Structure 1
Amino acid sequence: MRLPFASLPLALGLIFLGAPAAAQEGGALSPRVVEEAAVPSVMTQAVDGFIIPGYRDLAQATNALSEASAALCKSPSEAALEAARSAFSDVVETWSTIEIIRLGPALEQNRFERFLFYPDRKSTGLKQVQAILANKDESAARAENLKGKSVAVQGLGALEFVLYGTGAEALSGENGGFRCRYGLAVSENLRSIAGEFLAEWEKPDGIQAAWKEPGPGNPLFRDNKEAATALLGVLVHSVEMIKDQRLRPFYAGTVDGKPDKGHPKLAIYWRSANTMPAISASFSALHRLFDTAGMERLLPADSRSIAGSIDFLFKALIAAADRIEGPVGAALADERQRATLDFIALNTADLLDRLNREFGGSIGLGAGFSFADGD
């Protein structure tokens, strides 16, 4: 169950008990607590070095997409369609970098789901997009109208179908007028939402202040422990999301003891061949957040090796994801690339465990606590 961001301290922060963690040699137990003095600096670095720059990049990418979409509608051609598709892929990569911050402004006004509606388990969104295109619903061809429509028809999934789905070839000629106008409306809507994300995080007295200054009067974090818990929760829940929502739907490795043939059309961004670039971008983002914020400083001095093992896993996962090129369906048909997917799945689970239990346990999370279990 997803919790509102304001509830995170209540659900997560109270488990900093300073309780004994892993057993040491000889059976003795050593208490583990977060290095609280480092927390304000770590949170500040997360905001100034990762979150705000990430939303600035998203604002720039969506602006470029909107311009490319407008150019396509004005002068349709193969080159203009390719430029719009390239700008779309840039937005997917940029969004996959910052979507890990699924809290605060992202949860307000359905901004996250309006930007990316996924998973679409019953193809509800796809059917709605197809209906708009089939009926040439002009009310969907204006960005200001999209905000009041289903979240499934106003974000990246809808635009991917416009640019790559059945009938997309019409965009390069004169017969793609309505389809292009709808795609332009979606791109302008994405630009608007990206601007809202950035504006909310750039407010000096808004959420960035709450992140940087934990304390009794803070509406989000009453102390440093709650703040550190929420930051670690970003990493834990994001790795869990990659494992369960990005990898598992299209490839489980084995099912009932038998090799999984894979389900490429259940993969996110399968039409545009952005599945693995998006996964790589998310791993890279988590790695960058971990390093930029200096989360190693939250660990007791004798537990800093945990950060080294996490760093190693991030690098291995990014390199593996980058080795899988092209459509995910082709990767599933190739034995070597399937082995790489197996490697990614196995090590994603390992990374989740190291963040959730080793890092969490070393900064004082109560025995038996598990982010991944939602405790």
Structure 2
Amino acid sequence: MKSRDRRFGVFVWIGLALAPGPVTAAPTVAEVDDFASFNEAAIEDYLLPRYEALAAAGEGLKGVLRRDCADGRLDDGASGQAYHVMMDAWMAVQHLRFGPSELFLRAERMQFWPDKRGSIGRRLSQLLMAADQSDLEPRRFAQGSVAIQGLPALERLLFDMPGDNENAFACDLAVRIGANLRDISTALLADWRDGPSAYAAVMRDASKGNAEYLDAKEASLQLAKSLHSALLLIVDFKLQRVLGDFEEAVKPKRAESWRSGRSLRNIRINLAAARTLYQDVGQGGFAALLRRQPGGPTLHVEIAAAFRHVEKRLASLPPSWIEVLAEPRGWQRVSMIHQDLRDLLALISGPFSQTLDLPLGFNSFDGD
């Protein structure tokens, strides 16, 4: 073809492409306003109340530990109950690894887990042996090893070190950890809620585009990743690392919070947090957005049923791994729950993500 003919052909193609005529709209997912409304509901109904509960639990924990240690004795009575309240509140936001949670290693300082190298026990032993009050100076402590700043270290002091219950320094250390947890939880709430630069305002302004988010949909994607994170955390870290591939390979002391007997209680709270984000935020959470898409109603029924099924199975088990494994077929029962959760995770990773056009991509727990 001559050069002039090739140019003519290009012009014809462009003309046809631009010519008026019937236009078939590409399939669309949720509208921008839908995502903005979802984000607003998530902020008001889900994010802020949970961080308020965490801050309240931190304040309560600090006060109880201080009172319990007034006589230099540490026990798991009232302090143990305050620990459980704090742990419950943390489990409800553990999967929200973005925004204020990422600042100053707050998530790791709140809960250094999994502790694959035994750093917590080693560092605790060093502190208790040295019994140096300067190690407990607030600024020095908060800038020191993350391994002994949070809930796992406090759990050991309360539930796994009975020989130290009359150790005055152990008491002082527990009080410092409690104060540190209060400070972190208070800072998390303030960064989410207070002032013009609060992260809640950043998410609300996503519709206009800002330094964090291009638009409201991208902010919703952050929350979809948190939903995915909650399930991935349970499947890969809280179950697979403990269960192994067969019953003889089970490692119950890899479980989260096994010393305080609440490993499966943690999972129940994580799962409830995921389900709430999926279907109970505002006018129906992600589920409401999903049901408005082609094929969405059927997919929602499948996801909702999967949540109900696994929650029912979990509710039939005691909160402690040790108790579960002592039961006939205990390993098999948890293994079936693990498979149910893998199936649910696959629904969220695949059809849910694709239908709402929310590509999950890299996860905050990948590579941990």
The interval holding the TM-score normalised by the smaller chain is: 0.7 to 0.9
Within a 5 Å distance, the mapping from 1:140-151 to structure 2 comes to 140-151=135-146
Shift of 1:69: 0.6
Partner of 1:271: 259
Give 1:131's match in structure 2, choosing from 126, 130, 139. 126
What's 1:309 paired with? 302
The SS at the match of 2:115 is: coil
TM-score by length of 2: 0.84
Task: Determine helix, strand or coil for the equivalent of 1:98.
Answer: coil
Change (3 A) 1:66 1:329: same
With over 3 angstroms needed to count, the CA separation of the structure-2 counterparts of 1:305 and 1:36, relative to structure 1, is: farther
Q: Percent identity?
A: 25
**Mapping for residues 1-375 of structure 1, pairs under 5 Å:** 31=27, 33-75=29-71, 81-166=76-161, 168-171=162-165, 175-205=166-196, 206-252=198-244, 254=245, 258-290=246-278, 291-293=280-282, 294-299=285-290, 300-302=292-294, 303-365=296-358
Distance 1:115 1:195, change over 3 A: same
Structure 2 distance, partners of 1:320, 1:137, is 48
Code of the residue aligned with 2:188 in structure 1: it is F
Distance 2:362 2:300 in 1: 18
**Structure showing greater relative contact order (alpha-carbon pairs closer than 8 Å, 6 or more residues apart):** 1
The verdict on how the C-alpha distance between 1:68 and 1:214 changes in structure 2, with shifts beyond 3 A counting, is same
CA 1:47–1:223: 2 relative to 1, 3 Å: same
> 1:183 is matched by which residue type in structure 2?
A
Aligned to 2:14: none
In the TM superposition, what whole-angstrom CA distance separates every residue of 1:251-275 from its partner, at most 9, and x where no partner exists? Answer: 13x2xxx434411111111111121
Question: 2:112 is paired with a residue of what secondary structure?
Answer: coil
Cα pair 1:35 1:363 within 8 Å, conserved: no
Separation of aligned partners in 2, 1:146 and 1:323:
41
**In 1, Cα distance between equivalents of 2:302 and 2:132:** 53
1:153 is displaced (CA, Å) by 0.9
CA distance in 2: counterparts of 1:217 and 1:259, whole angstroms: 51
State how far apart, in whole Å, the 1-side matches of 2:320 and 2:222 are. 35
Cα distance in 2 for partners of 1:370, 1:214 equals 20
Moved more, 240-249 or 138-147: 138-147
Equivalent residues of 2:29, 2:293 under 8 A apart: no
From the superposition, tell whether residues 136 and 229 of structure 1 become closer, same or farther in structure 2 (CA, over 3 Å): same
| Structure 1 match to 2:17 | none
Structure 1 length as normaliser, TM-score? Answer: 0.83
Give the structure 1 partner of residue 6 of structure 2.
none
- Partners of 1:149 and 1:289 lie apart in 2 by 34
RMSD: 2.2
Change (3 A) 1:239 1:159: same
- Opposite residue 108 of structure 1, the aligned amino acid is L
Task: Say whether the 8 Å CA contact 1:36–1:224 is kept in structure 2.
Answer: yes
> For the Cα contact (< 8 Å) 2:150–2:180, is it kept in 1?
yes
d(CA) in 2 for partners of 1:365 and 1:86? 40
Q: Could you tell me which runs of 5 or more consecutive residues in structure 1 were left unpaired when the two chains were aligned.
A: 1-29
Letter in 2 for 1:304: P
- Which letter maps to 1:208? A
Ranges in structure 2 where 5+ consecutive residues have no aligned partner: 1-25
Structure 1 residue identity aligned to 2:160:
G
Answer whether contact 2:54 2:185 (CA < 8 A) is retained.
yes
CA–CA distance in 1 between the matches of 2:311 and 2:139?
38
Range 218-227 or range 175-184, more displaced: 218-227
Instruction: Check whether the contact 1:251–1:260 (CA below 8 A) recurs between aligned residues.
Output: no
Comparing 306-315 with 237-246, which one deviates more in the overlay?
A: 306-315
Provide the aligned length of Structure 1 versus Structure 2.
Answer: 334
Cα distance, 1:365 vs structure 2 = 4.9
In 2, Cα distance between the equivalents of 1:76 and 1:133? 14
The farther-off stretch of 305-314 and 58-67 is: 305-314
What letter corresponds to residue 149 of structure 2 in structure 1?
Answer: Q
> Counterparts of 2:110 and 2:28 in 1: how far apart (Å)?
40
Query: Is the Cα contact below 8 Å between 1:215 and 1:223 reproduced in 2?
Result: yes
